[in-house]
Every structure is written in structure tokens, then in C-alpha cells.
Amino acid sequence: MVDMSGAEALMHSLKNEGVNEVFGLPGGANLPMYDELYKSDIRHILVRHEQSASHMADGYGRVSRRPGVCFATSGPGATNILTGIATAQADSAPMVAITGQVPVEMIGKDAFQESDIIGMANPCVKYSYQPRDPSLIPQVVKNGFYIAKSGRPGPVLIDIPKDVQQNVAPMTFPKNHNVRGYNPWIKADPKDIESAANLLLSANKPIILAGGGVIISQAFAELSSIAEMLVIPVVTTFKGKGSFSENHPLSLGPIGMHGHAEANKIMTEADCVLAIGTRFSDRSVGTFEEFERDLSIIHMDVNPAEIGKNQTASVAIVGDVKDSLQSLAKVLAVKVVKRQETEWLKHVQETREYWHENLKIHPGEMSSHHILHKLRDVLPPNSLVTTEVGQHQMWASLFFDVISPGTFFSSTGLGTMGWGFPAAIGAKVARPDVPVVDIAGDGSFNMTENSLATAVLEDIPVIVFLINNYSLGMVAQWQRTFYDRRMIGVDQKHCPDYVKLAQSYGAHAIRAESLDEIERALKDALSSDVATVIDIPIDPEEDVLPFVAPGTSLKDMILPS
């Protein structure tokens, strides 16, 4: 036991958890912890807005699979960070957010820069703590990291009053967590595994639907092994994009509102779905009624509450996805002698070829299709890709093939504009050895572009691949499609000039107006040691197609005319 202040104990605890970087912004209520940060060897990465701090921690967490840490002060600092916390919760990203709070005796008095961040954050955190005694900090941090990274990962908020940071108390640093009401390590029931194997083998038209859970548990090899053993097609949710290599012959890519036509078509014809680590989001499945046909669903998830929440399962397998898939593969290996190419697989392949040949794409050279194929051609397969939120994100879903599993990240649950660029910075901090590209749209990038200051000053050379239609493109598309072209609030004209903007921050900036220029710009950016913005103007009228309108079934997708 040793006497130290709460803030000192916090830094000590963070080091014990292996934290080497934090993303944040100082303010009045977190100055004691910043003063201790000054003395520590933890790298502080200064943001220009707390929302970006939480998105950076989110990107760091998704890539490293260790909780990303962000700091904010009380009141507006804490409320600013909340969007990033909610985003991490929606996409099950491990994060520990640490906010300053007014002193204990001022809590509830409407003090300057006081906000009830614990109350506000309740629905969008996995758990939260507000230690009122400095001696509690070591255990709170130990528990917080354990909760954030285990089971279905998520954000944990630790809100520390200023006097608790300042006051000195005897500290004991625990080796173990003590969270008695939390047991994330559920082992799949062998009977359910057996039932699932039998159901898959008796199905005529089976399919695998892989969700984000596959990426979180890094179950790529297990997924491939089962798909190949059964010789069945794999579709993904958007969150699960890249959980299965998209150049694999059995891959049909993402389903859903902005899924591949062939993936949506085949999904509506399947008679048995092995759904892995997915919550059957409305964006993925259209209407839930679609799944009420004669269809067996095997639902595998680490979270028991996901079973039956949106979709009733014929067989439920609760447990870590990687572990469950390993068990399933063992059972299948005994039962499967040799699978022949089935009529179903032949039909799947014909359907894919049909849509590849017949789907009309935007004719211009600078269409999203060509631009994203060019990006794919030039980028090394192991590059990490984030996206902003909007049309470009959905074009990425459609046209950018993820080759190395687990290298694609997007705000799919909350759909947070402004996520991609700071998340890319966090990703690059976690993996400085690989290229990191943010596929951006102008509307979304504009929300957190001030993170360019962070990228430049902190030497974090990410690439912003900015598909610029000078508008809030997705909203514009909906206004064109569903509101009879009554266009309002979507035109961003030519302001700002992203090349000049990036240069003003000291970043490298290139405007690319042809595919050749894009290729040159990308090669330039990949060899650059400074953050680079590649501004790519496109036709503002280009739509994302195919498209499943909200509230409609996958089979009612709108196709390019």
C-alpha cells in the first residue's frame, strides 16, 4: 500500500493496463490528471474537439482490440465526448473514456461546467463509474478495462471528481477485477452445436451470414474453414464486411440496404442461415417479416440478449464466436465426408455472374465504382480502411473489396458522421506499420476535419480519400428519390476548398480529377510521411445503387435504371 493522489493512481493504473497513448483535451476539471500525465511516459495525443478524442480511441480499440483511452474535462468536454462513446457502444468497440467532474461537494449544485455525464451516458455505455474516494481508483480502472474488452466489448466511462483526483489516499493496485454480476465467458452448449451441424447438413440452400462478431473475435480462419467444408456461400452484414475475404469464390459481399444485388437475392432464397455475431439489424435484413418464411436460423452470438431480440432462432448458440465456430468445425469434420458442388452453389454462381454482367453502373470515368476499384488496385491488401458516413461509405460497401479479413472499419451502428478520419488516426496509432486510409465524403469529413491538426502535429500520416460531391450526398439522394427532388439543406457548394484547407493545417493535399491522377496521388500519399488529403470531385447526382428502401424487403431492392 502506498500513498498517492487519485490522479497519480490513475496514471499508475493505466500503465498497469498497458496504456501507452491517450487521446484528449485538457480543461479545468481534469487538470490534476493532466499534470500527472505530464510526469508519465504515456503519450498524449491532443485533439481539437473531444468528439474526435473518443473516435480516435474507438479506432485504436477496434484495431488493437485493447480499449482505446480518451480524456475530456467536465461539462461540455464530457458531453462532446459522448457521441464517440455512443458510437463505440453501437459497434461494440472497446474503450475507456475518462472525464473530469466538478468536486464531490459541488455535484448536483449546477456548478460551472457540471454535467451529469453518468446519467447522460447511461444508455450508451457498457458500464460507468464515478469514484468518490481516491482509493477506489485502482480497482475501478482494473474493472473498467476488464468490462470494456471482455465478452461483447464496449465503452466504459470513468468520471472522476476533481477533488478525488487531487486528494491523497493509501492505494492498493489489484491484480484482478472484482465484477461479480458479470460473466462474459459462456461456453456454447455441445447439444446446440450438434443441432446446428445437423441443420446445416440437411439444408438444401444454406448460407452463412457473418456479422461484426466475427471481426471482434477474429474468427476469420474458422469462418473460412466452415464455409469451405460445407461449400456454401457467405454474405456479410455491413459491420461484418471483410470478415470473409471478398475475393474468395464463396463470397457474395454485404447484404442489406446497400448490399450487393446478388447477396440480397441469394439471401432471400436460402432455406437455412448460419448467422454469426449479428443482431439482424434493420439495415442488414430490411424487414423482419422477410425472415418469417420457411427458413431455419442458427444464431451464434456471445450475447444471450441478442438471441430472439430481432429474429427468432431455430438453434441458438451462445458463446464466443471463435470458440463456437471451432466446436462446430470439429463436429462438421466428422460428419462431412466430401461435399460436391450442389445445384444451390451452381445457382449462386450463376446469380453472381448475372448481376456482375447486368448491373448498370454510372458511366463516367470518375464514378464511385471506378474510383474505389482504383483505390483497391493501388492499396496494399493489408492496409487498414475506415470510412466516414454517407454515400461514399455505401459505395465502399459495394465496390471496395476487403481482401485481408478484419481490415475494414466503419460506423455502422450509430452511423456517426465525422467518425472515419479521427478513427483512422486512432487506427494508425495502433498500427503505425501499415497504411491507413479514410474513405471520406465531404459532408462527413467536414465534421471533424480539424483533426488534421492532430495528424500533422503528432506525425500520424493517414490518407483521406475524399470522394467529394459537394453535398450531403446520401440525404440528397433520399430527397431526389423519396421527396420529389425538393432539395434542401444538402448543397455544400465548393466551400471549403479541401486542398487549401489541408495545406493550411500543414498536411499534404492533392486534387485528383482522373483515374490516373488518383493512382499517382495514392502512390504519393503512401510514400509520404505526412497526412495527405486526396480531393476527388465527382458528379453530385450519382446515386448509391442497388438500394433497399427503408421498411422494404431485400427482394424489393431498387436497381440502376
Partner 1 sequence: MWSILSILVENKPGILFKITHMFRSRNFNIDSISVGVTDDPNLSRMTITTYSDEKQTKQIVKQLDKMIDVLEVEQLDEQRTFYRELAIFKIHISDANASMEINKLAMTYGGKVHNVRSKSVIVELTATPHQINSFEDIVRPFGIINSARTGVAAVERSTS
Is the C-alpha dihedral spanning 429, 433, 439, 442 positive or negative? positive
Q: Is 175 in the site for partner 1 (CB under 8 A)?
A: no
Comparison of 121 and 371: residue with beta carbon closer to partner 1: 121
Q: What is the gyration radius of the CA atoms in the chain, in angstroms? A: 24
Q: Is 404 in the site for partner 1 (CB under 8 A)?
A: no
Beta bridge partners of 535: 466, 511
Q: Is 508 in the site for partner 1 (CB under 8 A)?
A: no
Distance of closest approach, residue 142 Cβ to partner 1, in angstroms: 14
Cβ–Cβ < 8 Å for 392, 441: yes
Query: Residues 312-351: x/- map of binding to partner 1 (CB under 8 A)?
Result: x---------------------------------------
Segment near partner 1 (CB under 8 A); pick from 6-14, 176-184, 380-388, 411-419 = 176-184
Cβ–Cβ < 8 Å for 403, 245: yes
Comparison of 277 and 418: residue with beta carbon closer to partner 1: 277
Given 110, 175, 180, 340, the residue binding partner 1 (CB under 8 A): 180
Cβ–Cβ < 8 Å for 413, 88: no
Comparison of 308 and 550: residue with beta carbon closer to partner 1: 308
Distance of closest approach, residue 358 Cβ to partner 1, in angstroms: 41
Q: Is 303 in the site for partner 1 (CB under 8 A)?
A: yes
Q: Is 12 in the site for partner 1 (CB under 8 A)?
A: no
Comparison of 86 and 464: residue with beta carbon closer to partner 1: 86
Subset of residues 181 to 200 that bind partner 1, contact rule: CB under 8 A: 181-182
Q: Distance (Å, rounded) from C-alpha 457 to C-alpha 61?
A: 22
- Residues 6+ away with beta carbon under 8 Å from 342: 204, 231
Q: Distance (Å, rounded) from C-alpha 297 to C-alpha 328?
A: 15
Cβ–Cβ < 8 Å for 384, 17: no
Distance of closest approach, residue 113 Cβ to partner 1, in angstroms: 21
Helix 368-378 to helix 391-399 angle (10° resolution) is 60
- Going by C-alpha positions, the residue among 240, 152, 197, 184 that lies closest to residue 326 is 197
Q: Distance (Å, rounded) from C-alpha 545 to C-alpha 164?
A: 54
3-state secondary structure of 273: strand
Question: Which sequence positions are flagged as catalytic?
Answer: 50, 112-113, 162, 474
Given 31, 104, 106, 179, the residue binding partner 1 (CB under 8 A): 179
- Going by C-alpha positions, the residue among 259, 319, 320, 317 that lies closest to residue 290 is 259
- Across the beta sheet with 532-537, the strand order is 408-409, 384-387, 436-441, 463-468, 532-537, 508-511
Comparison of 11 and 147: residue with beta carbon closer to partner 1: 147
Comparison of 308 and 381: residue with beta carbon closer to partner 1: 308
Subset of residues 85 to 144 that bind partner 1, contact rule: CB under 8 A: 118-119, 122-123, 126-127
Subset of residues 229 to 248 that bind partner 1, contact rule: CB under 8 A: none
Q: Is 147 in the site for partner 1 (CB under 8 A)?
A: yes
Comparison of 227 and 313: residue with beta carbon closer to partner 1: 313
Distance of closest approach, residue 213 Cβ to partner 1, in angstroms: 15
Distance of closest approach, residue 16 Cβ to partner 1, in angstroms: 21
Which residue ranges make up the site for partner 1 (CB under 8 A)?
A: 118-119, 122-123, 126-127, 147, 179-182, 303-305, 307-309, 312
